[in-house]
Structure 1
Amino acid sequence: MTKPDDTIRILIPLKVRKKNGRPKILPPANYRPSEDQTQDPHILRAIGRAWGWRRRMEAGEFATIQELAEAVGLTERHVSRQLQLAYLAPEVLKRMTCIREASAVSLYDLCFLAGETWQEQPERAFN
């Protein structure tokens, strides 16, 4: 039996915030993921979805982003932003999907990275 003096207390500095109505645990601000961590599944899913949307638009299934957004049940702004993931540099896509290298930027920032030149994208995405 342990005495009250023998109790070990572990403090993990996490914050709980609501995102989309669900609680989400946020790590401390100075947290850096380990080197062996794989790619975030949300990023991989978003890239796959963006490529699917791009193919459907190129096939003529939808003429505008607004039509696509209505068909998939999302806002036009969200679809427009995430559709940009289909235009990332081949080097970035290869490192994220095949090598599963973790991105140094969030999914939100990654969407805007497609506006950069293909030479600048890998440096900004992984450094």
Structure 2
Amino acid sequence: MTRSNDTIRVLIPLKLRKKNGRPKIMPPADCCPSEDQTQDPHILRAIGRAWGWRRRMEAGEFSTIQELAEAVGLAERHVSRQLRLAYLAPEVLKRLTCGREASAVSLYDLCFLAVDTWQEQAERAFRCPE
């Protein structure tokens, strides 16, 4: 039997979150994603959907977000939040889509980055030195 002073404890600062109804292990906030990690397909799909909605609104197909939400069958609040992804900084979009870099924030948090400056968006989205 081992004595209490022989026991080694290893603490790993991870968080369990539910993502799409399934538990997912989230790394610590100060952790940079590894280079072999691929982008979350939900983020790629959401960016593509947001750009499609933006083009449809700019083409005059819909005059309000409410009309767009009714047409696509989603809640107005959800459409409004997701539409912000079409207004992310070009560098962030390039790194997410072409570079396939994994974001350090969730899709939900990524939606709120559009209000920041372009440099702040990149820093908050990836939390890694360039």
TM-score for both structures, normalised by structure 2: 0.77
Contact 2:85 / 2:110 at 8 angstroms: preserved in 1?
yes
Partner of 1:109: 109
* TM-score (norm. length: structure 1): 0.78
Residue 96 (structure 1) aligns with: 96
* Deviation at residue 17 of structure 1 after TM alignment: 5.5
Decide whether the 8 Å contact of 2:35 with 2:101 is kept in 1. no
Who is 1:25 aligned against? 23
Structure with bigger RCO (C-alpha 8 Å, 6+ apart): 2
Unaligned segments of structure 1, at least 5 residues: 1-14
Moved over 3 A (4+): 15-19, 32-35
How far off its partner does 1:86 sit? 0.1
1:35 Cα deviation (Å)?
Answer: 3.4
Superposed displacement of residue 54, structure 1: 0.1
Q: Verify: 1:56 aligned to 2:56, yes or no.
A: yes
Name the count of aligned residue pairs: 112
The match for 1:85 is 85
Q: 1:112 to 1:55 in 2, by over 3 A?
A: same
Sequence identity (%)? 80
Correspondence for 1:37: 37
CA distance in 2, matches of 1:18, 1:122: 23
Q: CA RMSD of the aligned region, Å?
A: 2.4
Q: Deviations over 1:51-103 (max 9, x none)?
A: 00000000000000000000000000000000000000000000000010000
